Amino acid sequence: MARFPILMYHKIGVPPEGAKVPHHYVSVDRFKRQICAILRFGFKTTHVSTHEPDVKKPICLTFDDGYQNFQLAASVLKDNGQTGTVFVVTDLLGRDNRWDVETGDVPEPLLSADEVLNLHRAGFEFGSHTVTHARLAQIDQNLAKQEIVRSKEFLDSLLGSDTQVFCYPYGSHDSDVRLMVQKAGYKWACSVEKGWNDGQTDPFRLKRVNVRRDTSTAVLFWKLWSQARRRTQID
Ligand SMILES: [Zn+2]
């Protein structure tokens, strides 16, 4: 397996007043500049599930939670002939991020099932981020299993394909959770641990490089290279 980084994005756009985690919003302009820079550097974007084939410098772009503002990223990616992987919360499609709203955050609309289907047809990859954005390592194991299995069944049937990628909400996983994800038929799962991935990486514990609102192109490359060398890692 080639060594490859996975970038982690959440929301695209400007944080609205009251947003609890403004650094989760990356502006469209900044996103455009980041895409142009990684392409100039010779990277090519691939899906998380297909990062192995002949691409010389693969990079995966992941978008957690499936916000409707992913559409802004999707048009930048389409314009540049690139792709990405989106992790959706299957019971909340077309609704909002109530797991955040419950803790006082502002609501953000999530992609609807129709939008997911259209984006999938346009070449974007979709993975599961559970049914309800559950903290898997901290809930009852039967519930955790349902979150993992039911979200896959839903996406498999919506998209007419075998959903291969999973992403742990809140980065919450342990060995039991990882085994459940594997047994459910996923092939890969993204964590929030930092670094690049290679042949030694547990496929159910893929590492990612976090991209924040203040991640300029220079900082992005600094993060990429420092994490590639597994030196001191910053968030
Ligand atoms: Zn999430």
CA 7 to centroid of ligand 1, rounded, Å: 14
59 Cβ neighbours under 8 A, 6+ residues apart: 4, 5, 6, 7, 38, 43, 44, 45, 46
Model pLDDT, residue 231: 40
CA 191 to centroid of ligand 1, rounded, Å: 11
CA distance 52 to 180: 24
pTM above 0.85, yes or no: yes
Q: How far is CA 115 from the centre of its chain?
A: 17
For the chain, list residues with pLDDT below 70. 1, 51-54, 230-235
* Alpha-carbon distances of 19 from 15, 38, 80, 105, rounded to whole Å: 6, 29, 30, 6
CA distance 207 to 29: 26
Model pLDDT, residue 54: 66
Model pLDDT, residue 3: 85
Contact 99, 65 (CB under 8 A): no
Beta strand ranges found along the chain (DSSP E): 6-9, 11-12, 25-26, 44-45, 58-65, 85-88, 125-128, 165-167, 188-194, 206-210
CA 54 to centroid of ligand 1, rounded, Å: 31
State which residues have CB under 5 angstroms from ligand 1, the bound ion: 64-65, 169
Model pLDDT, residue 1: 60
Model pLDDT, residue 52: 59
CA 75 to centroid of ligand 1, rounded, Å: 22
CA 190 to centroid of ligand 1, rounded, Å: 11
All domains in the chain, ordered by first residue: 6-228 (3.20.20.370)
